[in-house]
Amino acid sequence: MIDLNGGHFNLNTDSTVGFNTGSPRAIFDFGNVGSATTNPYMIMPTITTATRTGLGETVEGSIIFNTSTKKFQGYTGTAWVDLH
C-alpha cells in the first residue's frame, strides 16, 4: 500500500487498484473513498462534441461528460449514446 498525503492507494499484483482500502473488490474500488474525504465523487473526462468527433480510435465502453450537451455519454463501439 502506498500512503499519499495521508490517503491510501493500493496497487496489487493482480492488477486491482484500491483507494482507501487494502483489499480491492474490483479492478478499481472506490467504495471506501467517501469515508476518507470531503469530496467523495469522481470526475469523468469532460470534452465538447467537436472534440469528441475529432478523437481518433475510441474504445468501446468509454465514458465522457459532453460539455456541449451537458450529458454523460458512452461509446458502444459504433456510436456515442447518452447515458441519461
Residues 34 and 82: their CA atoms lie apart, in Å, by 27
Domain span at 24: 2-35
Identify whether 40 is part of a domain: no
Residue 70 has what pLDDT? 98
- The answer as to whether 61 is a domain residue is yes
User: Position 76: which residue type?
Assistant: T
Residue 7 has pLDDT above 70, yes or no: no
Whats the size of the chain, residue-wise? 84
What pLDDT shows up at residue 84? 86
56 located within any domain: yes
User: pTM for this structure?
Assistant: 0.71
Convert the pLDDT of each residue in 34-46 to its tens digit: 776 787 788 899 9
> Cell triple for residue 45?
473526462
Q: Is residue 25 part of a domain?
A: yes
Q: What's the domain count of the chain?
A: 2
Tens of pLDDT, residues 21-76: 778 888 888 887 777 678 778 889 999 999 999 888 899 999 999 999 999 999 99
Question: Residue 9: what pLDDT?
Answer: 67
